[in-house]
Structure 1
Amino acid sequence: MGKSAVGNEIHAQLSVAGVRHCVIDGDFLDMAYPSAEEHGLAERNLAAMWANYRVLGYRRLIYINTASVLGEVTDRLTAAMGDSPHVIGVLLTCTDETALRRLSQREKGSTLDAHLERSAAMAYRLNSGSRPQIRRVATDERSIIAVATEIIRFAETSVTRFGSGCWRPSGSTAGSGPRTAASTRNGHGDTVSGLSMPTPG
């Protein structure tokens, strides 16, 4: 169960519910060879895309990205957005056994060990580098629909505490400030996803 699949399901459920939102897969914002990471291309492209969405009236963003739940990465991304978003971070997790099974289905031959090693390293980095308020959602033996539904309910509850009415249908007049969402991939739970929803600061 990958972060993009969960993000797409969140998008599908919000669309059916009439909740106005947009989706950005952060993995593609600076995909290049040689790497353009040192030039801050992901942040620059996010700023441009979010500005365009904002002009069209979007205030909720589902952001999907491997490292977006890490504190320093979240800070850079929200600074690039420029409107003091409130971020709700979600980390998708699973057991080592589930991770091994999922990776074994995807990777064959000599590449499996390398992927397992990278997965374990990323899991440690995400678990140690994410902030305490990050929500961890287990994905073992669960459907994508169930995981996406739990994340939406958690986001709705979190936003309600801010009194913003963020998840109301798009025709509602409640909650006019910016909202955003982010997703991340974890290592050894095979997946870690982060959903972020910015509300006005």
Structure 2
Amino acid sequence: MLFLGGRSGVGKSSVAVELHTQLAAAGVRHCVIEGDNLDLAHPPPWEHHLAERNLAAMWANYRALGYRRLIYTNTVSVRQVDALTAAMGDAPHVTAVLLTSTDATARERLARREIGTALRQHVERSDAAARSLEALAPASVHRIPTDGRSVADIATEILALTGWHG
């Protein structure tokens, strides 16, 4: 299992798509789950552990079809490795990667992506998440900077960490 975490605007989704592209080209069987979508609701259902329940259901479906490699993206996933792997019902080999960027890089990326009224709120949450993740992510989590780098380069570095080259 590969956990990709990091602040908003760091490139988690873009890197996950590139990982998918590289793995597919190498013929490596895998799946990708965007964790942010597993409990996106209002009011937030966090106290019901909906993300973990939905992950367990989705992973059971993938496992039944023979998948053994999962790329999971979520801002704080690298801080929730134990809870998420427990929800999966497996004991997977885990690689956890915290993607990092400067505030300026994240803000520039968010400004391109957030075209509605929520930009200021996203920037504030992104800045706070960056500080929290850097302070609280375990030392075992690989930290990979994304500033000034292509998603292909970042994905290649991550694949080297996982050993999923095919």
TM-score, normalised with respect to structure 1: 0.71
Residue 141 (str. 1) matches residue 142 (str. 2): no
Structure 1 residue 23: deviation in Å?
A: 0.9
Distance in 2 between the 1:9 and 1:137 partners?
A: 15
Encode CA deviations 1:157-189: one digit per residue, 9 max, x unaligned.
xxxxxxxxxx253xxxxxxxxxxxxxxxxxxxx
Pairing 1:132-171 to 2, within 5 Å after superposition: 132-156=139-163, 167=164, 169=166
Structure 1 residue 117: deviation in Å?
A: 2.3
2:23–2:165 CA contact under 8 A, matched in 1? no
SS in structure 2 of the partner of residue 69 of structure 1:
helix
Alignment partner, residue 5 of structure 1 = 14
Sequence identity (%): 59
> Please, which of 97, 122, 129 is the counterpart of residue 90 of structure 1?
97
Distance in 2 between the 1:108 and 1:155 partners?
A: 35
Q: Which structure shows the bigger proportion of residues in helix conformation?
A: 2
Distance in 2 between the 1:103 and 1:3 partners?
A: 12
Structure 1 residue 95: deviation in Å?
A: 1.9
Return the index of the structure with the highest Cα Rg.
Answer: 1
Residue 100 (str. 1) matches residue 107 (str. 2): yes
* CA RMSD in angstroms, aligned pairs only: 1.9
2:159–2:165 CA contact under 8 A, matched in 1? no
Give the gaps of 5 or more residues in structure 1.
Answer: 157-166, 170-201
Residue 34 (str. 1) matches residue 43 (str. 2): yes
Structure 1 residue 130: deviation in Å?
A: 0.8
Aligned residues: 157
Residue 20 (str. 1) matches residue 29 (str. 2): yes
Structure 1 residue 111: deviation in Å?
A: 5.2
Encode CA deviations 1:136-172: one digit per residue, 9 max, x unaligned.
111111111111111111221xxxxxxxxxx253xxx
Distance in 1 between the 2:147 and 2:61 partners?
A: 37
SS in structure 1 of the partner of residue 147 of structure 2:
coil
User: CA 1:120–1:15 in 2, change beyond 3 Å: closer, same or farther?
Assistant: same
TM-score, normalised with respect to structure 2: 0.85
SS in structure 1 of the partner of residue 77 of structure 2:
coil
User: CA 1:113–1:88 in 2, change beyond 3 Å: closer, same or farther?
Assistant: same
2:31–2:69 CA contact under 8 A, matched in 1? yes
Counterpart amino acid of 1:42?
Answer: A
Pairing 1:54-65 to 2, within 5 Å after superposition: 54-65=63-74
Distance in 2 between the 1:80 and 1:110 partners?
A: 35
